[in-house]
Chain A
Amino acid sequence: MTLDQLPLGVLARIVAVDWAALVPEEAQRLRALGLDEGAQVRLAYRGVFMTRDPLAVEIGRMTVALRRVHARAMHVEPVAADCPA
């Protein structure tokens, strides 16, 4: 499952990122924000209107906005909610 398919509010771990699918500068920015393999994330909000772009992702105590193209490159698997974040 990729990050854009994750249901809202479900805690998940990023298991793999297809960095090659992203623009290098954007890949670097995402990594700098902590969106990297091993990070635990939660999808907080989906975009407005009929489309589901952009997305707001909670990582740690931070909220990051990104587009679906970025989220599609991130493979996630849900983890149990009581796992330490």
Chain B
Amino acid sequence: MSRLPCTVALVGNPNAGKSALFNALTGARQKIANYPGVTVERKAGRFALPNGEPVELVDLPGTYGLDATSPDEEVTRRVIMGEQPGQAQPEVLVIVLDASNLEQHLVLAQEVIALGRPTVVALNMIDLAERDGLVLDPAALAVELGVPVIPTVAVRRRGLAELGAAVGAARDTAAHEPAHPRAHLTMPERRMLARTMARGAVLSETSKHRLHARLDRVLLHPWLGPPILFALLFVVFQAVFSWAKPFQDGLDALFSSGADGLRSVMPPSLLRDLITDGVIAGVGSVVVFLPQILVLFFFILVMEATGYMARAAFLMDRMMAGVGLSGRSFIPLLSSFACAVPGIMATRSITDPKDRLTTILIAPMMTCSARLPVYAVIIAAFIPARDVLPGVGLQGLVLFVLYVSGIFGAMVAALVFRRSLTRGAASGFIMELPKYQLPTIKDLALGLFQRGWIFLRRAGTMIFTVAIALWLLLNFPRAEPGQDQVNASIAGHIANGLAVVVEPIGFNRDIALTLIPTMAAREVAISSLATTYAVGASDENARTIGLAAQLKQHWSLATALAFLAWFVFAPQCMSTIAVTRRETNGWKWPAFMLAYLFGLAYLFAGIVYWTAVACGLG
């Protein structure tokens, strides 16, 4: 017998605990990919029926009904109907219900059951319902719905075996019984029936003080809520930069010692330089950001799993509405402070397409962790370390101004886009605020592993290719004896041309040359400036000190300030461009993003330079 494994799909409202059930059933045996042609994540995994037969389980995006309003919901509808290309129609549907929210969730359940497909209901999070003082009768619900109802607590692995058995039974029954669609009901009829059924399933209900109501009273308080959110964000940023530091230094040391080791065992050759200067330096410069990204994602995953993220979106909605966005854009923009790549991927949860596009376009202006090395080196070299106010250093103040400039630029850009390119009815904000819940370590670990892996794979392959391409551009054609290799190379020729363009904003030829490899990733600017000024130092620290002295010799203060202003806006990151292309399905928007951000970078670097020169700092 060589038939494909039977496909089973999880269907349910958002926040029904579908993902937790999916994780509990499949463990780490998951495959995450995209549905073809749309940027909706397809999560599939394997689990075994009680008789040992393997089953492919698909976790469908959460939906409130089968009449789709977002790309996610459209995929759910098409998979259930068997209309999704490349996806076998599920043989059994598992409807996941939040036990404490039956009145709501039974509306979708009825709609799905009415299709007449083999169906099993998982009455999930029954422990939370009991915590709220709600005792339910699954048997009564099963009679009302006409399908098996299995109580489950996904996070504690309760009811999983029973659920597997029910799925197997439903599949076997369906094999010798044709599908029998049921009478179609209108929406109000379904809602009425849902209410009756929900009430009928309740054995006893005590009005215990609900935990989430008490937490919300503090966290959503008009005056307490925002300070708590900002305090939390402050802690997150502190952690991103301080917790990740030792790991980052460790990775950095690992890559440089790897390159040094290779240099000592391989004879000098072009191939050796390609591997050490091209591949290891290029890929390494991106991989060192993995610790920061993991720390940030740890907080984001905890905020999501506990239910606080929806509250953060609620608190930020008013501010975001001011520039024509909604609270939903807050989550992707927060992620972009670590790296715009996961931030842009997180825009998928925004239902309004214009909102989503606007958020993607402004995300690169959030100061990502790749800009920090550049800012750190330039500020250390040019800004004196003195206090402007007691406890407020000038260097820190400059860094803060750079962060704020990015945020301010993004807000102004959003305002302009919402009135021009992405003009439309002001987007609304309708969002369920899920119940508070303690996250499970296993789900957190799995989530972190998945995000980390996606980042490494995407950044790794992209940077790998670009690093090799740039290295080739810098090394060919080979220089004649006595001629400078950089000048002779293709990159050198481009730099000489570029120098003319950037001269008005105070950039010299060395900067022009630096800007080319920096297209791969911003932090490349430092290593490439170091190479350009040919500082012969072994370790990173000595090179930074040496570089600072070199920079002071070759650059005026006005040039340095212009260089900082440039990096606030310049979209010098291949990964961001690549992910934007993926998420917008084409080259139109990444091309636009490159154009407008380079335009802004040029303009602002220019303004800073001319102002500084006028003030006598040239």
Contacts and interface: CB of A to CB of B under 8 A. Distances in A.
A64 B430 contact: yes
A3 B300 CA distance: 33
Interface string B127-160: 0000010000000000000000000000000000
A63 B216 CA distance: 10
B318 A49 contact: yes
B191 A66 contact: no
A70 B321 CA distance: 14
B65 A60 contact: no
Given A32-B64, A66-B430, A53 B425 contact: no
B220 interface: yes
A42 to B, nearest CB: 11
A35 to B, nearest CB: 9
A38 interface: yes
Decide if the interface of chain A is mainly helix, strand, loop or mixed.
mixed
A69 B427 CA distance: 11
Given A28-B69, A54-B314, A65-B327, A70 B428 contact: yes
B611 interface: no
Given A48-B222, A48-B318, A69-B428, A33 B64 contact: yes
Contacts of B212: 63
A58 to B, nearest CB: 8
- Which of under 10, 10 to 19, 20 to 34, or 35 or more describes the interface residues of B? 35 or more
Contact of A65 (B222, B225, B310, B321): B310
Contact of B429 (A32, A37, A67): A67
A56 B219 CA distance: 13
Given A32-B65, A33-B64, A53-B318, A64 B222 contact: no
Contacts of B430: 26, 29-30, 33, 64-67, 70
Contact of B317 (A26, A36, A53, A62): A53
20 contacts: A23-B428, A29-B64, A32-B107, A34-B103, A36-B191, A38-B191, A45-B314, A48-B225, A48-B226, A48-B315, A54-B318, A56-B220, A60-B101, A61-B100, A61-B104, A63-B433, A64-B430, A65-B310, A65-B432, A66-B429
Interface of A: 23, 25-26, 28-34, 36-38, 44-49, 51, 53-54, 56, 59-67, 69-70
Nearest 9 Cβ contacts at the A-B interface:
A32-B64, A63-B433, A45-B220, A60-B103, A65-B431, A32-B65, A54-B317, A25-B69, A26-B428
Interface of B: 64-65, 67, 69, 100-101, 103-104, 107, 132, 187-188, 191, 212-213, 216, 220, 222-223, 225-226, 310, 313-315, 317-318, 321, 327, 351, 425, 428-433
